[in-house]
C-alpha cells in the first residue's frame, strides 16, 4: 500500500519543498557564525569541497532510495534489500531529527522576537554594543525565550496538521525567490560600506593556519546540516518526486542554490562586521548583533528588517516542517498510528527538547554536557555526529549494498539521461571518499588522530 502520509500536488511542489527544507537558519544563521568562529576563507573552502565531494553524492543517494520505492527510510530499505539491517538506521534519522529540530526551534523563536521588535518599530536606534547586550538580555530571560519558542512550535505543528501539501508548497514557492532577492539587496548594501573589503578578505582569503581540525569537522557538519542530509528527511521528500524528474539535475540545483544562499549571507554579514569594528567570532549571536546594525543605516531600515525577519521565519518553518516530518512519517509507517497521533507525540517530544534548550542561556545555564550548555551541545552533536553518522550509513548502503542497476535506473530514469561522468563519480564518492572522510572525523573525536 502506498501510504498517504504527505503529498505534493505538483513536481515543482516536491522540489520547492526540498529547497525549503535545505534553505533555512542553517544557511543564514549557522553558516556565518561558524565561518566567523573558524577564521573565514579556509573554512569556506573546506565547506565547498564537502558539498561537492560528499554533499551532492549523498543527496543523490537519499533521492535514489526515496524515489525508487516511494517510501521513507525503513520501508524503502525493506523493499530494496529485504532483511538488511540498514533499516535500523531509520532510528538515527528519527533521533537526529528530534534533537536538531528541538534546538533549531529556539533560534526560530529568536527570529520571531526580532520580527516582533522590528515590526513594532523597536529594533532600530541602538549602537552595535547595545545590540550585543539586547541579545544577551533577551536570551537570559527564560520566559521570553520559552514563549517565542512555544509560539513557533504551535505554528509549526499547525501547518503540519493541515498537511504539507497545502502548507509548505504555497509558502516555499513564493518566499524563496523573495528571500534571495532581499539577500542580494543586502549584499550590495554591505559591499558599499566603508572597509567592506576587509570582510571580503576574511571570507575569501584562504589561510589554513586559521582552521585546524575543529574547523574541518565544523565545515563538514555544516555541509550536512545545510543540505538536510543524513537524517532521512530527503528520503521522505524524494519519495514524492515524480518518476520522470531528473535526480542528478535536481540534486545539483538544490545544493547549488543552498550554497549560494549561504555565501550571500556571508557577504551580507562579514563586510558589515569589519566595517562596524565588531568581532567575527561572536558565535551563535552573530547575526542578531550585526543585522540590526546593518538595517539601521539603510533608508527605510524598519521595513527591511521586518521583511527580512518575516522571510527568515518562513525559511525556518519550511525546514522545521521537514525535520518534524521525520519522526511523524516514521511513527505512521512503523506503528500504524494515525497522522494526528503521530503529530501529537512528535509535538510533545520536541517541545520538551525545545524548552530545555531555550532555557540553556538562563535557568539551565549551569547544566553542561561535554562542557557545553544544552543548546550548544545539540548544535554540536546534531550536525557533527548524527548527520555525519547518517551520511556514513547512507553512503555505505548506496555505494556498497544497493544494486548498481537501481542507482543507474534512478539517476538516468532508465537510460534517458546521460551519466557517463556523474555516475562513476557518485559511486566513487559513496564507496571511498565519504566513508573515509567521515571515519577520519570520528577517529578525531575519540582522540585517535
Interface residue list for ligand PHE (CB under 6 A) = 21-22, 24-27, 100, 225-226, 228, 231, 233, 319, 322-323
Minimum distance of ligand PHE from residue 21's CB (angstroms): 5
| Contact (Cβ atoms closer than 8 angstroms) between residue 415 and residue 125 | no
Give 100 or 183: the residue with its C-beta nearer to ligand PHE.
100
Give 132 or 226: the residue with its C-beta nearer to ligand PHE.
226
Minimum distance of ligand PHE from residue 130's CB (angstroms): 28
C-alpha grid cell, residue 303 = 521595513
Minimum distance of ligand PHE from residue 89's CB (angstroms): 15
Minimum distance of ligand PHE from residue 315's CB (angstroms): 7
Give 18 or 410: the residue with its C-beta nearer to ligand PHE.
18
* Distance between CA atoms of residues 48 and 55, nearest Å: 9
Minimum distance of ligand PHE from residue 254's CB (angstroms): 10
Give 22 or 272: the residue with its C-beta nearer to ligand PHE.
22
Of the candidates 358, 355, 383, 357, the residue with the CA atom closest to the CA atom of residue 369:
357
* Distance between CA atoms of residues 385 and 111, nearest Å: 26
Residues forming a β-bridge with 372: 369
Minimum distance of ligand PHE from residue 258's CB (angstroms): 7
Minimum distance of ligand PHE from residue 15's CB (angstroms): 15
DSSP 39: T
CA dihedral of 330, 16, 354, 380, whole degrees rounded to 10? 90
Residues forming a β-bridge with 369: 372
Minimum distance of ligand PHE from residue 446's CB (angstroms): 25
Give 22 or 426: the residue with its C-beta nearer to ligand PHE.
22
Give 61 or 228: the residue with its C-beta nearer to ligand PHE.
228
Which residue sits closest to ligand PHE, CB atoms considered? 26
Minimum distance of ligand PHE from residue 220's CB (angstroms): 14
Give 226 or 239: the residue with its C-beta nearer to ligand PHE.
226
Give 25 or 328: the residue with its C-beta nearer to ligand PHE.
25
Q: What share of the chain is helix, strand, coil (3-state, %, to 5)?
A: 80, 0, 20
Give 262 or 278: the residue with its C-beta nearer to ligand PHE.
262
Minimum distance of ligand PHE from residue 269's CB (angstroms): 16
Residue 81 class from Cβ within 10 Å (0-12 exposed, 13-18 middle, 19+ buried)?
Answer: middle
* Distance between CA atoms of residues 375 and 357, nearest Å: 5
CA distances from 48 to 69, 179, 216, 259, 362 (A): 31, 22, 11, 8, 36
Give 27 or 275: the residue with its C-beta nearer to ligand PHE.
27
C-alpha grid cell, residue 164 = 504539507
CA distances from 337 to 5, 342, 343, 440 (A): 11, 7, 10, 40
| Contact (Cβ atoms closer than 8 angstroms) between residue 66 and residue 236 | yes
* Distance between CA atoms of residues 250 and 12, nearest Å: 11
Minimum distance of ligand PHE from residue 325's CB (angstroms): 9
* Distance between CA atoms of residues 40 and 33, nearest Å: 10
Q: Count the neighbouring beta carbons within 10 Å of the beta carbon of residue 400.
A: 11
Of the candidates 165, 5, 9, the residue with the CA atom closest to the CA atom of residue 71:
5
For residue 155, how many C-alpha atoms fall within 13 Å in the half-sphere facing its CB? 18
* Distance between CA atoms of residues 126 and 130, nearest Å: 6
Question: Phi first, then psi: what are they for 81, rounded to 5°?
Answer: -140, 80
Q: Three-state SS for 363?
A: coil
Give 112 or 427: the residue with its C-beta nearer to ligand PHE.
112
Amino acid at each position: 500500500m502506498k501510504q498517504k502520509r504527505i503529498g505534493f500536488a505538483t513536481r515543482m511542489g516536491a522540489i520547492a519543498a526540498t529547497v525549503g527544507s535545505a534553505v533555512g537558519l542553517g544557511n543564514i544563521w549557522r553558516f556565518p557564525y561558524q565561518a566567523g568562529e573558524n577564521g573565514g576563507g579556509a573554512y569556506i573552502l573546506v565547506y565547498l569541497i564537502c558539498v561537492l565531494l560528499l554533499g551532492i553524492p549523498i543527496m543523490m543517494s537519499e533521492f535514489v532510495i526515496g524515489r525508487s520505492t516511494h517510501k521513507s527510510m525503513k520501508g524503502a530499505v525493506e523493499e530494496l534489500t529485504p532483511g538488511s539491517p540498514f533499516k535500523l538506521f531509520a532510528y538515527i534519522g528519527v533521533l537526529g531529527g528530534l534533537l536538531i529540530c528541538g534546538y533549531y526551534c529556539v533560534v526560530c523563536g529568536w527570529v520571531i522576537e526580532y520580527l516582533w521588535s522590528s515590526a513594532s518599530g523597536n529594533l532600530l536606534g541602538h549602537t552595535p554594543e547595545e545590540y550585543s547586550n539586547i541579545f544577551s538580555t533577551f536570551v537570559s530571560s527564560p520566559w521570553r525565550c520559552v514563549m517565542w519558542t512555544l509560539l513557533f512550535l504551535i505554528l509549526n505543528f499547525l501547518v503540519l496538521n493541515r498537511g504539507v501539501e497545502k502548507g509548505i508548497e504555497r509558502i516555499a514557492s513564493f518566499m524563496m525567490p523573495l528571500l534571495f532577492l532581499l539577500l542580494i539587496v543586502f549584499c550590495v548594501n554591505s559591499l558599499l560600506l566603508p572597509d567592506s573589503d576587509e570582510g571580503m578578505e576574511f571570507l575569501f582569503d584562504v589561510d589554513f593556519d586559521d582552521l585546524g581540525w575543529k574547523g574541518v569537522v565544523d565545515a563538514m557538519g555544516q555541509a550536512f546540516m545545510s543540505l538536510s542530509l543524513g537524517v532521512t528527511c530527503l528520503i521522505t521528500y524524494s519519495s514524492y518526486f515524480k518518476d520522470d524528474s531528473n535526480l542528478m539535475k535536481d540534486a545539483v540545483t538544490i545544493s547549488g542554490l543552498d550554497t549560494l544562499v549561504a555565501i550571500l549571507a556571508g557577504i551580507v554579514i562579514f563586510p558589515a562586521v569589519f566595517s562596524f569594528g565588531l568581532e567575527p567570532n561572536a558565535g551563535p549571536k552573530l547575526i542578531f548583533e550585526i543585522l540590526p546594525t546593518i538595517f539601521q543605516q539603510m533608508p527605510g531600515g524598519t521595513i527591511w528588517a521586518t521583511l527580512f525577519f518575516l522571510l527568515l521565519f518562513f525559511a525556518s518553518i519550511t525546514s522545521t516542517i521537514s525535520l518534524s516530518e521525520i519522526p511523524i512519517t516514521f511513527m505512521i509507517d512503523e506503528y500504524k498510528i494515525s497522522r494526528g497521533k503521530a503529530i501529537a507525540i512528535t509535538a510533545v517530544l520536541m517541545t520538551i527538547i525545545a524548552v530545555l534548550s531555550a532555557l540553556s542561556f538562563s535557568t539551565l545555564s549551569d547544566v553542561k554536557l561535554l562542557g557545553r550548555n544544552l543548546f550548544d551541545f545539540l548544535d554540536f552533536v546534531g550536525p557533527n555526529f548524527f548527520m555525519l553518522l547518517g551520511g556514513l550509513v547512507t553512503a555505505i548502503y548506496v555505494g556498497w549494498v544497493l544494486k548498481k542497476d537501481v542507482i543507474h535506473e534512478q539517476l538516468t530514469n532508465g537510460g534517458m539521461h546521460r551519466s557517463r561522468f556523474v555516475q562513476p563519480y557518485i559511486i566513487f564518492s559513496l564507496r571511498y571518499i565519504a566513508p573515509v572522510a567521515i571515519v577520519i572525523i570520528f577517529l578525531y573525536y575519540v582522540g585517535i588522530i
